[in-house]
Each structure stands twice: as structure tokens, then as C-alpha cells.
Amino acid sequence: MSTGAVKLSPVAVDGNAACLQQELNWLAHCIELRLHSYFQQQPLNLLQQAAPPVLSAAQGSYATFILRQQLSLSERLIVLLALAPHIQPHLLDSFFVRNDNLGRSFTEFGGCSSKQHSGFLPSAETAAFLLAGNDLAARLQLIQLLQPEQQLRRDNVIQLQHDSGDEPFLSARLSLSAEYLQLFLTGTRQKPDYNSYFPAKLLTTPLNWQDLVLPEAVMADIAHITGWIRHQQTLMQQWQLGRSIKPGYRALFYGPPGTGKTLTATLIGQQTGADVYRIDLSAVVSKYIGETEKNLAAVFDQAQARHWILFFDEADALFGKRSQTSSSNDRYANQEVSYLLQRIEDFPGVVLLATNLKANIDEAFARRFQTMVYFPLPEVSERLRLWQHILGKAVQLATDVDLDYLAHEFELSGGAMTNVVRYAAIAALLRGDNALHQADLLQGISRERRKEGMMV
């Protein structure tokens, strides 16, 4: 799993733990002051009466983050409130006090329940109570602080999770993202990975541009995409084209399977220093109304904050020609497409979409692309280069292997050739041979062509 920092040394761990303990003691003191003020009906200026600990970067990853991001005291308390259930959940037990007049918990304290966790899980309402009490103006400021465009949510430090879209804003569960939880506790920064709430996967490859064999025209189109990534600030700001050009870049990769669309997207990110996340369209479309938008929003929000490249593979599965709305399911499916279209059109970064059949893409959506790049099956000379690249120098070839013949006789994609070499290598080793023979490769080609429904 990729991380963005080296793990803390044992000495640094001790310093980080001591820092976090001071911070949590401050949080506990703030909670005590707020509850006393609430029940005694006394005015309270929390951030003046509860002085925070003084932090230094030498105290570890948490302190370094707070100082580097220049978080306000309110933002710092929100982070601690979200962190407490993970390392000292008992600090929030005070919120379990019941309202004797109503025989239930206090609405003002907020909080969420969990099947596995017996402690108090804070909600945004809990943060509002702690920081604002009954001060309506202060509550409105807190609501503003928790908006998606504000630092804590924009950078995915904290997350607000609603069970449904019609719930009060402050009823959302307040949680710390896995990325920042790991950073604060271990000093490492874990990049988000695929799960049911985050339907995207980080793409990586050990290959480079030399391993990708494409026509010059295709490489020229790709150069325009990387050129935009590198020079968009110059174009939009110094050249002031932002007045007439919408931020963001959208490109469609289309062509037969195995021709290098996914690898190209990955290499664009590798070349420009941007993470590339592939959206799992099968996980995006949820049977529960509203879940699709929620799952996608998490990806788009983080992508915008971190300048990721978003890659939609098999895009025609969701961006294909829209159906007639003959049923509620059809209407909701089209609603999902409309939501995605809008998010993609408004996304200020780079979105790459891939499909095997360009004709399947809805025309209204196709007009939103800045470029469409066709990935053809390789020509004879390109197929020969691909055979040579895939086999490399470490694979032993028997004297009867004729790569020139294979390149001329069999029209295969690079992906198909990779499958052929895999099959041939296994076949050779199973019979105890350290060299590939022509027959091994021909047998692999025969199997690959049958998979594609072609005559052998």
C-alpha cells in the first residue's frame, strides 16, 4: 500500500503520543467547560477560557500537520473530536448523560450509534455544541466551517456521513478519514484505496513509455493532454484564457481492447506526477437512491483537492446512449448519468474515459470532450516491437521462434500478446523446458483467437 511519508521512529512515536495526549486533555477540558456552562446556564467563551497546548513541529506528525496547515483553534478541536473515538473513546462518555425530563439523550449533544463500537461517536452536531453552545451566530459559523469547500473537508481531513439526503446538515457523523488517521498515529500517509464507499482504485505500473507502442498521431494527442496538465496555470492565469476556457480537460480513449488505453492513462499520471484513479462503474451504480451520488462525490471531492486524474474504463457502461424513461428505474439511471455528466463537466482537473466502441457513447456527452484519441490495433512493425518488448532479454527463445512471422501473420493487440507469452511461458516450464518454442507461442495465439471468437 502506498504511503507518502516514512514511519515515525520509536523516539518520534513517543513525542507524537505525548503531543496527542496533551491535545486530548485540552479537548476533555473544553468538553467539561461546555457541559458545565450548559447545565449551569452560564456564558462561556470557550476558546478564551481553555488555552490550547503550544505545538512545535518536533513533536511529531500531528503537530507538524496542524502547524503546516495553519488550522484555527476551532478546526483543531473538530479534528480532535473526530480523532478521540480511535484512541481515547472514554473522553466522550460525558455526552451519554440522559435528559431526565424527556427520558432520552440530549438532542443538543448529537452523536451517532454503531453496531460494533459501544462508545459515543460524535456528529457535526456534537462539534456545534462544543464550539457554539446555544449561540446561533456561532453555530452558523460552524456550519460554514464544515462546508465541502472549506479546508478540513476539501482536503479530506474529516468526513461528514449522512444516512440519507433529507437529514439535518449537523446530524451527519463526524469522522476522521483513514488517510489522516494513519498520518496522525504512525506518521505515514496512506493513499485512499478501493472500498464500498470509495469506488476508485489507484493505478500503478512498472512499465514506461518505451513499453507502449503506439502510432505517432496517438502520441501527439497524448502530448497535448500532458501539455495541458503542465501548463494549465500559465494558460488560464498568465494568458488569461480562464475568461473564455472552462477549467479541466476531458479526453476519450477508444479502440479495441488491449491496445493500451489504461496503460496510457497510468503513464500520463506517472509522467506528470499525478495519481490516476480508475472509477469502478459497477460499484458506482447503487440500487439505493442517492448512494451513487454520495459515492461519486467522495471521489470527485478528493480528486479536486489532490489534483488526481480520474479514469473511467468501459465508459459506455454508464455514459452510453440514454434509455427512454419508461420506468422509475430508467428515470433514476438517467438521473445518475446526468449527475455524472455535470460533475465531469464541472471538474477542474483531468478526466480520461475509455471505451471499446466510440459509437456507444451518448452524443450529448461526446461534445464535452476536448479530444478523442483512437487506439488502433498495431501494424506489423508495431507488433514486432511489441513481441520484442514483452519477451524482453531474459526469456530464452528456441531457434525455431520467428517473431517476424508472428508479427506478419497474426493481428493481435498488445494485451493479447501479453496473454500469449504468459501461456507459452507456463507451457514451457510445465514440460521442464527453459526456452519458449514457436509451437508454444502458436498454441497461445490459437487460444487467444478462440477467446475473441476468431477463426483459428
Structure confidence by residue, pLDDT tens digits, 138-161: 999 999 999 988 999 988 899 998
CATH number of 380-451: 1.10.8.60
2 pLDDT above the threshold of 50: no
Angle at 284 between CA 282 and CA 290, to 5 degrees: 140
Please count the helices (runs of H) and the strands (runs of E) in the chain. 19, 12
- CA distances to 269, 283, 319, 403 from 108, rounded to whole Å, are 46, 36, 44, 74
Q: Can you give the pLDDT at residue 282?
A: 62
**Strand ranges inside 145-199, DSSP E:** 158-161, 173-176
User: pLDDT tens digits for 184-229?
Assistant: 998 887 777 766 667 889 999 999 998 899 999 999 999 999 999 9
Over range 222-246, report the average pLDDT.
Answer: 92
CA 43 to chain centre: 44
**Per-residue pLDDT at 454:** 63
Which pLDDT band holds residue 334 (cuts at 50, 70, 90)?
low
Give residues with Cβ within 8 angstroms of 283, minimum separation 6: 194, 196, 199, 295
What's the confidence (pLDDT) of residue 1?
A: 34
pLDDT at residue 349 tops 90: yes
**Confidence label for 401 from pLDDT (cuts 50, 70 and 90):** very high
User: Would you state the pLDDT for residue 45?
Assistant: 93
Closest CA to 322 of 304, 335, 309: 335
> What pLDDT sits at residue 96?
94
What is the rounded distance in angstroms from the CA atom of residue 67 to the CA atom of residue 51?
A: 16
Q: What is the pLDDT of residue 220?
A: 96
Give the CATH fold of the 200-374 domain. Rossmann fold (3.40.50)
pLDDT score recorded for residue 341: 78
Residue 359: pLDDT above 80? no
Q: One fold for both 200-374 and 380-451?
A: no
Q: Confidence band (pLDDT; 50, 70, 90) for 358? A: confident
Spans of all domains in the chain: 10-186, 200-374, 380-451
Could you give the CA distance from residue 387 to residue 442 in angstroms, rounded to a whole number?
13
Comparison of pLDDT for 431 and 302, the residue scoring more: 431
Residues belonging to the chain: 456
pLDDT of residue 296: 78
With CA atoms as reference, report the closest residue to 306 among 344, 263, 350, 343: 350
Note the pLDDT tens digit of each residue in 296-323.
777 888 888 889 999 988 777 666 655 5
